[in-house]
Amino acid sequence: KMGCVVELKICALFVLFGLSQIVNGFYLPGSYPHNYGVGDYLNVKVNSLTSIDTELPYGYYTLPFCQPEGGIKDSAENLGELLMGDRIENSPYRFKMLTNETDIFLCQTKALSSKEFKLLKKRIDEMYQVNVILDNLPAIRYTSKEGFMLRWTGYPVGAKVQNAYYVFNHLKFTVLVHKKDETDVSRVVGAGDASEMIESVGNLGSNAAAPGYMVVGFEVVPCSFLHNADSLKNLKMYGKYPSPISCDPSTIAAMPIKENEPLTFSYEVLFVESDIKWPSRWDAYLKMEGA
C-alpha cells in the first residue's frame, strides 16, 4: 500500500502548496462539505507522529496515549486523507457540535514501564509532534514570537525543562464552525470537482441539503497539567474532572513524567462561529511557517 502512496503524497503536497496559490479555494481529493447537526459527534483522528529532525514517522499509538474505547482502527476515509497521512487512526477525542465542554477526563494510562519512559523522552528529544485531524483539517497551533503570530500544524509530544520531561497531557481545542445557509449549498454543490466527488463517493445523499454547521477551522493549545490522583478515582472516560483544569501554555512545568507512574490526559473544546466559508477553510494552511 505504502509504495505508491508515498509518491502520490509528494505530488499532492506539490499541488497543495504550489498550485494552490493560483487556484482560489481548492478541495482535498475526496473531501466534501459535511454538515453536522447540533449535538452530533465529531471524532478527532490522529496522524503519525512526525519530526522535522528525523523525517521518520511513527504511529501515534507507539507512545502510551489514551486509546479509543472501541479499539484502534485505521481511519483514512478518502484519498485526501491517504495523501495527507502516513497512518491515520481514530482517537478517543470527541466533541459534540456546538457544545462547549471543559474538564473532560480522558484516561489514566498504566504506570510507565522503563521502556515506555525512555521512549517518551527520546521522542521529546527528537522533537516529535502529534498531528490531530478533525473533518480533514489538521489542527493549527498558534504561537507568538516577538509580537508576531506564527502558525504550525500539530503540537509537540512534550518538552524538556532543565532535566525533567513533560508531556502535553491537556489539550484545549477550538473548532470554528460556519452555519450553513442556502447560498453555501449552491456554491458548494456547484463547484466542479466537489460535485464530482459527491457523486463518486455516493454516500452523502440527504446530508448535503440538510441544515447544520460545517467545520471551517481547527485549533489546538497543548498544556501540561498536574491532575490530582484523588480526583481521578471513579472517573471514566469522558467523565467530568471535579475541578477546573487551567490551560496556560506559558507554564509547561506542571507534570514531569516519571518511570512507574501513569500519565493522565484530559481536554476541553470550544465552538466558535466563523465567517470563513467551507471552500476557504484551507487558506489558513497556506500561510504556514513550518508546514
Q: How far is the CB of 38 from ligand NAG (least distance, A)?
A: 9
Nearer to ligand NAG, 108 or 274 (CB): 274
Nearer to ligand NAG, 273 or 289 (CB): 273
**CA-based nearest residue to 88, from 119, 126, 130:** 130
> Residues 223-262: x/- map of binding to ligand NAG (CB under 6 A)?
----------------------------------------
> Residues 42-81: x/- map of binding to ligand NAG (CB under 6 A)?
----------------------------------------
Q: How far is the CB of 155 from ligand NAG (least distance, A)?
A: 20
**Concatenated DSSP letters for the chain?**
-HHHHHHHHHHHHHHHHTGGGTSSS---TT-----B-TT-EEEEEEEEEE-TTT---B-GGGS-----TT---B---SHHHHHH-SS-EEEEEEEETT--EEEEEEEEPPPPPHHHHHHHHHHHHTT-EEEEEETTEEPEEEEEETTEEEEEESEESEEEETTEEEE--EEEEEEEEEE--HHHHHHHHHSHHHHHHHHHH---GGGGGS--EEEEEEEEEEE-----HHHHTT--TTPBPSSPPP--TT--TT-B--TT---EEEEEEEEEE-S--GGGTTGGGGG-S--
Residue position matching grid coordinates 472516560: 237
Nearer to ligand NAG, 13 or 272 (CB): 272
Q: Is 98 in the site for ligand NAG (CB under 6 A)?
A: yes
Given the rule CB under 6 A, which of 18-26, 209-217, 269-277, 283-291 is the region that contacts ligand NAG? 269-277
Q: How far is the CB of 212 from ligand NAG (least distance, A)?
A: 14
Residues near ligand NAG (CB under 6 A), total: 5
Q: Is 272 in the site for ligand NAG (CB under 6 A)?
A: yes
- 263 φ, ψ (degrees, to nearest 5): -105, 145
Residue nearest to ligand NAG (CB): 100
Q: Is 271 in the site for ligand NAG (CB under 6 A)?
A: yes
Q: How far is the CB of 90 from ligand NAG (least distance, A)?
A: 25
Q: How far is the CB of 154 from ligand NAG (least distance, A)?
A: 23
Cell numbers for 96: 459534540
Q: Is 15 in the site for ligand NAG (CB under 6 A)?
A: no
Nearer to ligand NAG, 98 or 197 (CB): 98
Binding site for ligand NAG (CB under 6 A): 98, 100, 270-272
